[in-house]
Amino acid sequence: MANRTRIRFHEVQQLNLGEPPEKHARLQCGAHFADVLVDSRSAPAIYHWIVQPLGSAEIVHWGHERSFEEAAEQAKKFLQSLLSDPQVA
């Protein structure tokens, strides 16, 4: 039987005082997670994704995309690539 790791996708809302909530997400796969965040200070908005080990402030990889969906997809792909990397503990 193959060992499978499920990717959990959690939508979270950030507290924005006096502003509508922005779209944020945390994806977790194995020993790593990715946060997908919007930077609405730029026009158009930029969506960042940051991959870190669980329990660590170390940044493994990051990127930015033009939409929330693209950023989440790239984060998922990177997390999945970590599962097949024998260098990752």
Exposed, middle or buried: residue 22 (CB in 10 Å: 0-12, 13-18, 19+)? middle
Mean pLDDT, residues 71-83: 92
Whether 4 has a pLDDT exceeding 60, the answer reads: no
**What digits encode the pLDDT tens for the residues 37-74?**
988 888 888 999 999 999 999 999 999 999 989 999 99
Here the tokens at position 60 are 């493994």
Report which of residues 2 and 44 the model is more confident about. Answer: 44
What is the per-residue pLDDT for 8?
58
Q: How far apart are CA 86 and CA 59, in angstroms?
A: 18
In this prediction the pTM is 0.73
Alpha helices in the chain (DSSP H): 68-83
Domain range annotation of the chain: 8-83
